Amino acid sequence: MELKKDSNAVSIDMLLIVHSEKRRAAHGTHSDRQADPGALPQRRGGLQGVGNGIRRWQKFEGNDVHGNLAEKQHPQQTQVITSYDNQGTQLTVEVHPRDAMPQLLKKFSLAKRLQGDKNGNTRPRQPGAKDAHVYPWDRSSLKSMPLDLQEFEKLDTYASQVTVKSGLDELVSDLLQEAHSDLERVRVIWIWICHHIEYDIEAAQEKDRQAFKPTDILRTQKTNCDGYAGLFEKMCRIAGVQCMTVPGYSKGFGYQTGQSFSGEFDHAWNAVYLEGRWHLLDSTWGSGLVDSATSKFTFLYNEFYFLTHPALFIEDHFPDNKNWQLLKPPQSLKQFENNMYHKSEFYNKGMLSAHPETSVIKTVNGKATVTIESCAPTLFMFMLNGKQEHGLLSLRKNGMKLDIYPPTVGTHKLQIFAKGKSDIYSSVLEYTLKCNYVDIGVRLPAELHQPVGPSWFSEQMGIMKPSHPDPIIHTSDGRCSVSFSVEEGISVLASLHGDEGPITEETQRRYIFQTQREKRAELKVQLPQAGKFALKIFVKKRLEPGNYVFVFNYLLCCTNTKVNWPMFPESFGNWGQDNELLEPLSGVLPANRNVPFKLKLHGIAKALVKGQDTWPLTLNREGYWEGSCNTAGCQEVYVMVLENANHNFYSYILKYKVNAQ
């Protein structure tokens, strides 16, 4: 090769060896697209994408080449192949049709071809010891360098509104108008790409699609992960910031817990050099998600993948060169495959850790326990095989505890969701449960929802100082009394749910009798039979319209097979929550008997019991209305009150049934 010498020319002795391309079939299906993080109930969780969506990055057996690797392209188009060795030397080769003028002969000046950074550095430094972060994560930050995201607000707004006028150089120039440091330069490029470049689903399905050119990406504003990474690198180099494209494996679409990775790399992301260290980012996963049901892309910005802490980035990104993990010690591919995968929403919503730390859990005596630690109080829910059943989830001030009881032996899928500051639950964790034993005695009611037991959330909703702080209540005779303080202006409603017996939607509240003394509510519960029941607690602000809101439930357990309590009497709207019923508590009265009555009623002028005849109640010194009635000849008995002594209209407040003679 002869090169025309000039003051800027560089003489290179080169031996170019071209091997035939060997494609190795990937084991399993992966992708480069992050998906809907599992919002319920509208959207499913997990990672979403389409396979075969990038150039076929090949694994080289040696360590002599690193960076952008060779790819198959159309033979009639000029191909540019760029590689870096371990010392950071860049080698660029053009492959072009015979009749075309080689571009390298026109411009083969190293100083002109490589964009330098602001300090004049033209060669990207390879990652070394000073770039490495300690593994595992030290919980210090989600980022690999100190950032105040509020300081980016104006810059982000500006970058997101910049439009393409002509070419890439002018776009970068416009973006840099408000950027005054390398960090800000990287930030405006990141924001612009994440808000303007759409993931090309159709292109991702084409196995041998040619590489995306920056000009084509700007024109269509669509690309795949290879295009995202390539465009980001190109824009950074124009901006004078050192940037590398890093190929590797990802836990994307089609990823199965515990699966192995081999063959072609399925993803590409970037490393940028800032303040003397390399940092990692993924603009593909930062831009949005693909809906698993419609296969349509939606812009949904994800801050997590901007300068992500390497100890977190390694959870779903495994680079071709271990040095690009930026970790000490680096993780092996086997560790990457076996390590617990926390989705980005796990950290976005303030989670710190989860136990067990392995993604596959084996039950012990039919039970598995999962705990999560969070930075702040957080709402959680779970799904086992797609249903909110067979588990007890209790909230803690900084996390939660979940006891799960698979209903059958075999393998089960457990998903855990967190709400955070938004109104949408997002998938944060997935486990595979392996169960070899089922304890039939631990069957839980299907209506037992989360959370179980009082918590910070029930306090927030106006229920405090519960008599039973634990989520499970055991009763030997089928009766129990639960009480708690109620915030001023809050109404409480309770219902009982079981899988067997006579409980229906109409009668589920009749096994609970609610009273309230001053600011403390009491729920007297009588179970219709032995078994397990969900005691649900709802609240509502009295002066506000709308429905009652579910807060939590207790699990009531009774093993006494002799239990067969009747319902409480039916109460009507005029029965005040501050009233108190001492007797009779059973909603079914014996026939042909004199039955005593004792109640505390507030703001009442007169009270009576009406059956076949009418029996007045009298007010004693302790403030209770007392009396009795005879149930002979009647099927129903009512307690009635007169609220105003000047009126003659009595209101029904309680209704009893009388046993058949």
Q: In what order do the strands lie in the sheet with 360-362?
A: 360-362, 426-435, 410-418, 380-384
354, 356, 359, 363 alpha-carbon torsion, rounded to 10°: -140
How far is 285 from 47, CA to CA, in rounded Å?
10
- In 3D, which of 374, 373, 446 has the Cα closest to residue 405? 446
How far is 325 from 137, CA to CA, in rounded Å?
13
Out of 30, 66, 133, 267, the active site residue is 267
**Tokens 């930026």 — which residue?**
326
Parallel, antiparallel, or unpaired: how do β-strands 531-541 and 243-250 relate?
unpaired
CA atoms within 13 A on the CB side of 7: 0
How far is 500 from 186, CA to CA, in rounded Å?
62
- In 3D, which of 527, 538, 525, 457 has the Cα closest to residue 492? 538
How far is 453 from 469, CA to CA, in rounded Å?
7
- In contact, 503 and 510? CB cutoff 8 Å: no
Out of 32, 117, 266, 282, the active site residue is 282
- In contact, 267 and 247? CB cutoff 8 Å: yes
Out of 194, 225, 558, 629, the active site residue is 225
H helix intervals, 251-402: 283-287, 310-313, 333-338, 344-348
**Tokens 């049934």 — which residue?**
657
Terminal CA-CA length for the chain: 115
How far is 490 from 397, CA to CA, in rounded Å?
23
How far from 484 is each of 396, 491, 538, CA to CA, in Å? 18, 12, 13
Beta strand segments in 275-332, E: 277-281, 288-290, 297-299, 317-319, 327-328
Question: In one letter, which amino acid is 85?
Answer: D
CB neighbours (10 Å) of residue 614?
12
- In contact, 71 and 88? CB cutoff 8 Å: no
How far is 548 from 598, CA to CA, in rounded Å?
30
156 has catalytic annotation: no
267 has catalytic annotation: yes
- In contact, 492 and 538? CB cutoff 8 Å: yes
168-175 helix and 225-238 helix, angle to the nearest 10 degrees: 70
133 has catalytic annotation: no
- In contact, 300 and 311? CB cutoff 8 Å: no
Enumerate helices (H) and strands (E) in the chain, giving the number of each. 13, 37
What letter does residue 437 receive in the DSSP assignment?
-
Catalytic residues, by residue number, are 225, 267, 282
